[in-house]
Amino acid sequence: MSIQQMIKRYPSPGRKDDVPTLFHEPNVETGFRATNQPVQYYLLSLFQPHNECMNAWTHLIGCFIAMYCIHTISHEFNAYNDPWMYPMLAGSITMFAMYLCSFAAHTFHNKSELWHYTCFFIDYAGIGLFGLGSTIIHFFYCSHPILAGSYLYKLAIPVGFILCINVCVCCSISKAMYSRPYPFTRKLWQLTSVLGIYVWLIIPIIHRMYIYYSSLRDEGNWDQSFDDHLLQIILFVISGFFFASDIPQRLFPGKFDIFFHSHQIFHVFIMLMNVKQIDGMSEDIRLHLPRIKTMEDVPTVWNTFGAVLLAGVINLLVVFMFHQVAKRRMEKEKMMQDK
């Protein structure tokens, strides 16, 4: 039986009114998958047009691109035998985690209201982890020697760790506390926590650029990694714009239901940003690792993989906690309806 024949055995994606309010998206009118279907329905739905299809595919493709890039770099630098490559490998684990959590969330969240909540709590856990991984990568490979000896540098991983958990907690609060139609305050919970970790993880790059432009104590020329890092910052800002603005569907309601609504464009820019981040990191390793080795302490399993693993476990606990919160909220809402 072909995939299309299997798809035909299940309900086709419907209109907004066919699904509970929790699944509604502002200015998206069609392409809503049915709820309460078996898991295979949501997997098969990857091969039919609906309003989450592009969200799922963009981050699945992003995951494969990141895996390919990391595999190439690992081969080039013989990464598995060198502790100086631990930050790169630990950071890459967080990239895969972010992509896979996002892919799973967008693929399965329509299954039920509880799945919807839990899937997005998992998505937030992945975003937080990616923030921590990016902190590890940027501070280890992209820092200027002046930063490498500073107090700020020593705090890099512990602060990144706390901000990672903060992303998971704040975004989960934003999901569990508010009801659709969501107020903008909800987006503020998400934006401020993500911005918090972003400001922290981007410090080494901004600091290096500041030194270059101010010509205070510049040691070298503008190199290829600067171009990549500058582009990754620009791509991140653009992705944030689409995440927060709901453009273009806000301007043309119902016209971008299946392809190119704001969240899908946001995903594409995050993917592009990640590619440029990997390019910038690999260029920094290529150009500056010998110098970095003289300035920084050798990375350990604990301040790379250990931090990522511990943050992953804590984020899973946060997900479990909010899963219980969502469950209680739904029971409460059901009781109110039954009264």
Within residues 270-289, the interface with Zn ion by CB under 5 A covers none
Q: What is the DSSP-derived secondary structure letter of residue 268?
A: H
**Inter-CA distances, 118 with 71, 252, 278, 316, Å:** 31, 30, 30, 11
Specify the residue, 35 or 102, whose C-beta has the smaller distance to Zn ion.
Answer: 102
As measured in angstroms, the least distance from the Cβ of 3 to Zn ion is 24
Amino acid, single-letter form, for residue 301: V
Specify the residue, 52 or 279, whose C-beta has the smaller distance to Zn ion.
Answer: 52
- By Cβ distance, which residue is nearest to Zn ion? 102
According to the annotation, is 106 in a ligand binding site?
Answer: yes
Within residues 102-131, the interface with Zn ion by CB under 5 A covers 102
What does the CA dihedral 64, 200, 161, 187 come to, rounded to 10 degrees?
-80
- The one segment of 2-10, 38-46, 95-103, 133-141 that binds Zn ion by CB under 5 A: 95-103
DSSP string, 225-266: HHHHHHHHHHHHHHHHHHHHH-TTTTTSTTSSSSS--HHHHH
The alpha-helical segments, DSSP class H, found in 9-85 are 39-44, 53-76
Paired tokens of 71: 């595999």
Specify the residue, 247 or 310, whose C-beta has the smaller distance to Zn ion.
Answer: 247
Q: What angle do CA 270, 273, 279 make, to 5 degrees?
A: 145
Count CB atoms within 10 A of the CB of residue 19: 16
Query: Using CB atoms within 10 A of its CB, is residue 50 exposed (0-12), middle (13-18) or buried (19+)?
Result: buried
How many binding residues for Zn ion (CB under 5 A)? 1
Half-sphere exposure of 255 (CA within 13 A, CB side): 8
- The one segment of 11-19, 94-102, 182-190, 314-322 that binds Zn ion by CB under 5 A: 94-102
Specify the residue, 268 or 318, whose C-beta has the smaller distance to Zn ion.
Answer: 268
As measured in angstroms, the least distance from the Cβ of 96 to Zn ion is 16
Here's the x/- map for Zn ion, 208-247, by CB under 5 A: it reads as ----------------------------------------
Specify the residue, 230 or 258, whose C-beta has the smaller distance to Zn ion.
Answer: 258
As measured in angstroms, the least distance from the Cβ of 66 to Zn ion is 16
Specify the residue, 58 or 277, whose C-beta has the smaller distance to Zn ion.
Answer: 58
As measured in angstroms, the least distance from the Cβ of 132 to Zn ion is 19
According to the annotation, is 263 in a ligand binding site?
Answer: yes
According to the annotation, is 261 in a ligand binding site?
Answer: no
C-alpha closest to that of 106 among 244, 238, 264:
264
| Residues engaged in binding Zn ion (CB under 5 A) | 102
Annotated binding site: 106, 263, 267
